[in-house]
Each structure stands twice: as structure tokens, then as C-alpha cells.
């Protein structure tokens, strides 16, 4: 996407019939910048709304799968199936917290996936591998 910039010196030749072209060009650039900032804020709000709504749909989907699985087994196994589904949601949420967010929203390091900067997780895993000796 092209960069949206407005420079007064580029607009002055286009405003031939106006007596004070520099002031008019500055005003147009200020208005353009304000509109650009408004569109940026709206785009950010739309992205956040989409992300939250998608998360809600995934959670509702998990509830639907739990009901489907509970209806597919005998009554004595329903609690086991429900526990399996709840643990699946918890484990998926944990892995998204640890890895998924950086893959989805990290700065792109290549064309396939976002950069995975797991410095905190790496330090945490290192402590698990070699616990302190007392």
C-alpha cells in the first residue's frame, strides 16, 4: 500500500488561482492528516472487533463440539468427554498465549509466518530444564 503523505510544496503548483497558496496547501495537508488519522483509528477498531468476535465464535464452537461429543457417548462417559473438551480449550488457550499471538501478530520475518520472539518463554523453559540446586 502506498504511503499517504501530503507536502505543501507539492500542492502549491496545483493552486494557481488562489492568492495565498502556501497557507491553502498547509490547510489541505492538515485536513488530510486528520482524516488519515481518523481512518487509521477506525481500521484499528474494526480489527479489534473482528478479533474479539472471532474468538467468541471459536469459544461457541468448542461448546457445540462438547455437546456433540456428549450426545455421541453413553451416559456414564459424559463427564469424561466434558473434561476432555474443557482441557482441550485450556491447553489451546495456553498454547495460543505462548506461541500463537507472536505468530499471528509478530512483525513479519518472512512471507509465511510472523516472527516468533520467545525470549520470555525460552528463559522460562531454561529454568525448567535446569532447576536451581539448593
Same domain, residue pair 48 and 77 = no
How confident is the prediction for the chain on average, in pLDDT? Answer: 76
Same domain, residue pair 78 and 45 = no
Q: What is the model's pLDDT at position 95?
A: 85
Angstrom distance (rounded) from CA 67 to CA 88: 14
Lowest mean pLDDT among 4-8, 23-27, 28-32, 55-59: 4-8
Same domain, residue pair 80 and 111 = yes
Q: What is the model's pLDDT at position 1?
A: 43
Q: Domain total for the chain?
A: 2
Our separate counts of H helices and E strands in the chain read 5, 0
Same domain, residue pair 4 and 34 = yes
Residues 102-126 have pLDDT tens digits of: 777 766 665 666 555 555 555 555 6
CA-nearest of 101, 122, 95 to 113 is 101
Q: Is the pLDDT of residue 20 over 60?
A: yes
* Residue range 27-43: mean pLDDT, rounded: 75
Determine the Cα angle at 18 with ends 12 and 21, to 5°.
35
Residue-number span of the structural domain to which 109 is assigned: 73-134
Amino acid at each position: 500500500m502506498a504511503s499517504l503523505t501530503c507536502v505543501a510544496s507539492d500542492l502549491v503548483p496545483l493552486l494557481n488561482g488562489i492568492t495565498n497558496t502556501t497557507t491553502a496547501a498547509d490547510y489541505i495537508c492538515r485536513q488530510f492528516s486528520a482524516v488519515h488519522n481518523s481512518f487509521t483509528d477506525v481500521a484499528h477498531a474494526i480489527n479489534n472487533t473482528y478479533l474479539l468476535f472471532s474468538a467468541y465464535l471459536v469459544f461457541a464452537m468448542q461448546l457445540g463440539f462438547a455437546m456433540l461429543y456428549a450426545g455421541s457417548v453413553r451416559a456414564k462417559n459424559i463427564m469424561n468427554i466434558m473434561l476432555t473438551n474443557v482441557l482441550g480449550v485450556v491447553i489451546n488457550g495456553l498454547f495460543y498465549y505462548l506461541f500463537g499471538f507472536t505468530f499471528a501478530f509478530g512483525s513479519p520475518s518472512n512471507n509465511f509466518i510472523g516472527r516468533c520472539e520467545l525470549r520470555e518463554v525460552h528463559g522460562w523453559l531454561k529454568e525448567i530444564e535446569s532447576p536451581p540446586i539448593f
